[in-house]
Every structure is written in C-alpha cells, then in structure tokens.
Amino acid sequence: MSTYVALLRAVNLGSHGRLAMADLRALVVAAGHGDVATYLQSGNVIFTSEHDDPEALAADLGKRLADELGVDTPVMVRTGTEITGIAAHHPFQDRQSDHARLHVAFLATEPDADRAAQLSVPEGSPEELQLTGRQLYLHYPAGAGRSKTTAAYLEKRLGVAITARNWKTVTALADLAQQRS
C-alpha cells in the first residue's frame, strides 16, 4: 500500500465547486482506496492505495467527481513521499516566518521547458517564485490576496492546470501522509 495526497482545484470557494468532504471521502473509499481522511474544506484528501500510478489515480478521481458528484475540477495527486519532500524545504522559508505568505502551486504536469524558462512574476510585483518539477514555490511578501501572481496568471504562463496551498496546509498534509507510511 502506498500513501497519496489528492489536491482538488477550486472546491468550496464561495459558491463555486461546492463539495462536502464527507462526499469526497465516500467517493475515494468507493474507488477502492483506504485510510481516507480529508484536511480542511478545500479539497485535500489523504488515502492509501494499492495502485502505483499517481496520474491514473488523479484521472480516475477527477472522472468520478464529475460523473458521481457533478464537480468538474482538476485533481493533482502526489505520493506521500513526494509531499513529504515538498514540505521538507521551501526555498523562501528563511525570508518569511509568516507561513500564510508561503505557498506551493501543484501542477498537473511538468510545463514545457520554454514556458518554464520564461516564467516570471508580473512586472513590479514583489512576489518570488521557483519552479521545481511539478511544484511551484511562491513567496507573497505582501500577501496573496491582492497579488497579480494569481493561479490564472500562472496557468496561462505555464500552460498547465494548477492548484495552490499555503505552507501551513502543505506541512500538515505531509504530516498526515507520514502517519500513514
């Protein structure tokens, strides 16, 4: 059995993508996975599975969400080992003690190398970013709320679907994944 973390994009944000976490847990159990738990109300689910292909798990969960619950949203899946590695170090952590200003954007796939090489924050924005594989580490020194470095901006530049979590959530998910390993 392997441990996985599934991250759903844009659920329970205002009236968009309403999804009860009990329904999400039930869906993951019905898909044949075990030791299922959710974290917060924003589409984070930790589970164990005999399957060994995170991309296939993401596709299956995304299809089930759409077909069974009417929620059509990208799903990004990381192994417990991956999420623990991601949480082990944020490249901007030494500059920021407020974890609400540190984020990780999880990409559905690795972006095209040319797009990745040209990625930058909007001109005049104070944010910093570092792309590492399918993760984009972000530092919002003035907070993310009014930043121009939005998910939509990043998706357009990279050409892949993303979902972001603040550092507190990332480290909590890593802790939960480690408990299942």
CA atoms of 119 and 129, how far apart (whole Å): 9
What pLDDT, on the 0 to 100 scale, is given for residue 170?
A: 97
Q: Looking at residue 10, what is its pLDDT? A: 78
Q: What's the pLDDT band for 54 if we cut at 50, 70, 90?
A: very high
pLDDT greater than 70 at residue 130: yes
Of residues 40 and 84, more confidence is placed in 84
pLDDT tens-digit profile of 96-123? 888 899 999 999 999 999 999 999 999 9
Long-range CB contacts (within 8 A, 24+) of 111-114: 111/158, 111/159, 111/160, 112/158, 112/159
Q: What is the pLDDT of residue 99?
A: 87
Q: pLDDT tens across 56-83, in order?
A: 999 999 999 999 999 999 999 999 999 9
Q: What is the pLDDT of residue 180?
A: 85
For residue 16, the model assigns a pLDDT of: 64
Average pLDDT of the segment spanning 20-30: 96
Q: Tell me what the mean pLDDT of segment 27-44 comes to.
A: 94
Spell out the long-range contacts of 125-128 with Cβ–Cβ below 8 A and sequence spacing 24 or more. 125/149, 128/92
Per-residue pLDDT averaged across 133-142, rounded? 96
- Residue-level pLDDT at 154: 97
pLDDT for res 171:
96
Dihedral sign (CA 144, 66, 47, 161): negative
For residue 15, pLDDT over 90 is answered with no
Task: Provide the percentage of residues in the chain whose pLDDT is more than 90.
Answer: 87
- Local confidence band at 14 (pLDDT 50, 70, 90 cut-offs): low
